[in-house]
Amino acid sequence: MKITWQSLIPKCFIPNKVIPKQTSVSRISISDFGYSLVLPEELSDSLAGSNLYVFTLAELKVITNGFSSSNFLGQGGFGPVHKGFIDDRFRPGLKAQTVAVKVLNLNGLQGHREWLTEVIFLGQLRHEHMVKLIGYCCEGENRLLVYEHMPRGSLENQLFRKYSVPIPWSTRIQIALGAAKGLAFLHQAKKPVIYRDFKASNILLDSDYTAKLSDFGLARQGPEGDATHVTTRVMGTHGYAAPDYMCTGHLTAASDVYSYGVLLLELLTGRRAMERSRPSREQRLVDWARSSLKEPRKLWRIMDPKLEGQYSETAALKTAALAYQCLDQRPKSRPTMSTVIQTLEPLA
């Protein structure tokens, strides 16, 4: 095999065609990408104007102290996450801050396409209720992402961790409202985005419990024009995925709304969407709790005992009714995320 100088340069497995440098008007779609080889510089060019920093692997090793165990934050389907610190020593004008560095596990559940999806969406979409992507590394087979650090970690850890301080009712509504605003922003974008993996572990919390959506590896461009849905391979998380999507592979914004309804149930009951350790009738939260959402006498029985009754009964009833609507078996009968926000704002 003939070796050329080009073959010695690290490459990324991305577009079938080299995407031209973008302007502030146009936006790259993940559907534009296939699996040919292009240089990392060309990915950087295609994201011009996104304000993302391109880091080297050596820099990220310095930032995380060699990905030391003392800086380990957690492990997800993408791979391990480590805490680090960056400042303008690495890039001129870079704000000094603590960051989270996510490392793609080459043998894990997610791969290059999920990494690329994350870079594309978070590189171009910015919102106060979406975690901020600061930069990335694409060097050889290494794929890393650098985010703002969220001190309180995931909602999953805060809500379900044993011996943790219970999240007060008002804070739960605040979190639900923030997450709803993040989803609404995606659904109402000029090129709508369907999140597809909305769940408690993908909602990160800052020091003030501000909720931000993270992990966009499974996100997809929504239907455009006269299309009513996009058809995809069924992906997501057991207990959260909408039954209509599971059966048909037809993905719509209503699929996210169903998952949001499951999250409201978790906030109301303090139970996980799926718990294999419980009796068979109680393992799937929706099956166990949905029938109690519209009846006040039944609702009090399923409310999270950690709340110790410290919540507004009226607000709990309205939140339960909203969850019931989001969990409707008929996708067209579910509310939009804008309607969800209008319902929750008076309760916050």
For range 157-181, the mean pLDDT: 94
Per-residue b or e along 76-104, where b marks 16 or more CB atoms closer than 10 Å to that residue's CB: bebbbbbbbebeeebeeeeeeeebbbbbb
Q: What domains lie within the chain, and their CATH numbers?
A: 9-148 (3.30.200.20), 155-347 (1.10.510.10)
Task: Identify the active-site residue in 45, 87, 88, 197.
Answer: 197
Given pLDDT bands bounded at 50, 70 and 90, which one contains residue 110? low
Q: Is residue 13's pLDDT more than 50? A: no
Q: Is residue 23's pLDDT more than 50? A: no
For range 273-300, the mean pLDDT: 93
What is the SS3 assignment for 133? strand
CB neighbours (10 Å) of residue 151? 10
Rounded to an integer, what distance in angstroms lies between the CA atom of residue 14 and that of residue 40? 9
Rounded to an integer, what distance in angstroms lies between the CA atom of residue 131 and that of residue 116? 16
The CA angle 146-19-144, to the nearest 5 degrees, is 15
CA neighbor of 348 nearest in space, from 170, 133, 203, 182: 170
CA neighbor of 85 nearest in space, from 160, 1, 146, 12: 146
Q: Is residue 93's pLDDT more than 70? A: yes
Q: Is residue 158's pLDDT more than 70? A: yes
- Report the pLDDT value the prediction gives residue 28, as an integer from 0 to 100: 53
Question: 8-12, 54-58, 124-128, 303-307: lowest mean pLDDT where?
Answer: 8-12
Write down the residue that tokens 């048909």 correspond to: 248
Rounded to an integer, what distance in angstroms lies between the CA atom of residue 289 and that of residue 304? 12
Q: Is residue 337's pLDDT more than 90? A: yes
- Report the pLDDT value the prediction gives residue 330, as an integer from 0 to 100: 96
- Report the pLDDT value the prediction gives residue 221, as an integer from 0 to 100: 87
Q: Is residue 62's pLDDT more than 90? A: yes
CA neighbor of 145 nearest in space, from 100, 95, 212, 86: 100
Global pTM reads 0.86
Is 197 in the active site?
yes
Beta-bridge partners for 250:
231
For range 269-294, the mean pLDDT: 94
Q: Are strands 12-14 and 36-38 parallel, antiparallel or unpaired?
A: antiparallel
**How close are the terminal C-alpha atoms of the chain, in Å?**
65
- Report the pLDDT value the prediction gives residue 6, as an integer from 0 to 100: 35
**Structure tokens given for 266:** 């978790």
pLDDT digits (tens, 9 = 90+) for 194-253: 999 999 999 999 999 999 999 888 888 888 766 778 878 888 788 999 999 999 999 999
Write down the residue that tokens 């509310």 correspond to: 335
Instruction: Answer for the pair 198, 158: CB distance below 8 angstroms, yes or no.
Output: no
Instruction: Answer for the pair 262, 245: CB distance below 8 angstroms, yes or no.
Output: no
Rounded to an integer, what distance in angstroms lies between the CA atom of residue 225 and that of residue 207? 40
Rounded to an integer, what distance in angstroms lies between the CA atom of residue 325 and that of residue 320? 9
Is the alpha carbon torsion for 198, 200, 202, 205 positive or negative?
positive
Instruction: Give the up-direction half-sphere exposure of residue 161: CA atoms within 13 A in the CB hemisphere.
Output: 14
For range 117-125, the mean pLDDT: 86
Give CA separation, 162 vs 73, 157, 158, 166, in Å.
Answer: 18, 9, 9, 10
